[in-house]
Structure 1
């Protein structure tokens, strides 16, 4: 159950409904998860800077997931997401930052049930 947060100093109009759906599908494919399990939060109009430069159009993406962040996978996922974001938002790849967090199954819950409990067959 990936938790994805996208922060940007660009306006909401940069991220239309089609963008949300396409990014969710891409993330599901890259993380080997059903798109319906991807939780996406997009926060436009942030006070976001790179090196103190507020005029630089930028994105900060955080992905928290359980158990898929081996070094080689992070390289592949980073390239694919950066390519997608660059194409869809016209933001330069050097201004797209991605942060990965590997979470334990006991630290993720949906509907009051942790992922660890769900894997154990508890409801």
Structure 2
């Protein structure tokens, strides 16, 4: 059950339903998870700075169980997600930062329990 949390100083108009669907599909494919399990949240129009510049940028957090726990895995995930973000949002690589967080099954609640019991 991956969580994709995108924060950006770009306006909400840059994040259509079509973009959300593409981000969900890309994340699901990169993490080898079903799209039905991917949760996507976008926070547009934020005051943000990356590398000393307030130019358009994105900080993306990827939290997931079992698939974000090694550098090798995250290198592959990063490349796939960067490809989508640069293409869809017109950003250069230096204006995107991705954070990966490894979750344990007991840290994710669903259906009145936690993933450990599902």
Runs of at least 5 residues in structure 1 that lack an aligned partner in the other structure: 119-123
1:66 to partner: Cα distance: 0.6
Structure 1 residue aligned with 2:74: 74
- Cα offsets for 1:37-82 (capped at 9, x unmatched): 101000000111013322x110000011011122211111101101
Structure 1 runs (4+) deviating above 3 angstroms are: none
- Which residues of 2 match residues 1-123 of structure 1 at below 5 A? 1-54=1-54, 56-69=55-68, 70-118=70-118
1:32 to partner: Cα distance: 1.3
- Bigger Rg, which one: 1
TM-score w.r.t. the length of structure 1 is: 0.91
Number of aligned residues:
117
- Cα offsets for 1:72-97 (capped at 9, x unmatched): 11111101101110000001111100
TM-score w.r.t. the length of structure 2 is: 0.95
Within 2, Cα distance between the matches of 1:112 and 1:106? Answer: 12
Q: Find the residue that maps to 1:23 and give its secondary structure.
A: helix
Within 2, Cα distance between the matches of 1:28 and 1:51? Answer: 29
State the Cα RMSD in Å: 0.9
Q: Find the residue that maps to 1:40 and give its secondary structure.
A: strand
